[in-house]
Amino acid sequence: MRKSKISIIGAGVIGSTTAQCCASAELGDIVLLDRPALGDMTRGKALDLMQALPIFGYNAKVVGTSDYANTANSDIVVITAGLPRKLGMSRDELLAFNVKIVTNVCEQVKRTSPDAKVIVVSNPVDAMVQRALQVTGFPHHHVFGHAGILDSARYCAFLALELGVSMEDISGMVIGEHGDTMVPVASCTSVSGIPIKQLIDPNRLDEIIERTRFAGTEIIGLFKTTGPFYAPAAAITRMVEAIVRDKKRLMPCSAYCDKEYGVGGYYVGVPVVLGTDGVERIIELELSDSEQAAFQRSIEVIKSQVKTMAELA
């Protein structure tokens, strides 16, 4: 059986940790790519990772490169390239810098891997994935963004800590922008089937929701010089697994919505069914009035980012 080919563009902490997670899960052979100035470092990371795999009994080929020819005919391309968000920097401030990088990467991906499913991680992700669609011209269900799984995991982790229960028992979902206006959906949150509002005081739940919105900023404040990478890499790997193994997983991703939710042709975090054909279905939730209003505010932020991006690109 042919192995899947997974190319990760950007060999920084998120990209290299994603390579490790995907290789350890034996999801396919990995190509780790970064710009020529970092070619030796990228090749070194790939070689180090491949040498670690036999110790754990895993089997995967890992290649480090600065040549897009090595990524040709990838099944999945993960784009992590770009300036990471730093302390005091908003995701919006990354637009001017990262739109150029994502544009250049997508031009190469279009040329070398025209049938790939593309997962965009670079921030601000909802705008960057819109740019990826514009540049590649791929079917919109083959181009989508990470973040909803990550934000949902953060939400569930905070709830588990608050309740003193296993994280496995928490079911929660975050939709909307991957940013300050994200919407943790309390009406879709439960613990072993028990609605969350029966277990946590509303004011305390609001505090946890607010912490979720700024969870990335909290970690950046602790790291000082970089952003989070373990949880983002785990979220990306879950998406790759759903595609490679045709899992039909229902999970939140930044997906292209037109008539869905009345978005009108923009990418936004929503629950989708993710399988071998990418985003195979979008699930429309019945939101409460307050959740719907918050979701609409989040959509407007994304539209504003896309407008700004169009002026910069």
User: Mind telling me the catalytic residues?
Assistant: 178
Positive or negative, the CA dihedral 186, 190, 195, 200 is negative
Sheet holding 29-33, edge to edge: 62-65, 29-33, 5-9, 76-79, 117-120, 143-145, 249-257, 266-275, 278-282
Largest CA distance in the chain: 55
Tokens of 230: 């373990």
Residues 6+ apart with CB under 8 A from 1: none
Classify residue 58 as left (phi > 0), alpha (psi -120 to 50) or beta: beta
Angle at 299 between CA 91 and CA 308, to 5 degrees: 50
List of residues 6+ apart from 157 with CB closer than 8 A? 167
β-bridge mates for residue 79, sequence order: 9, 120
With CA atoms as reference, report the closest residue to 18 among 82, 62, 70. Answer: 62
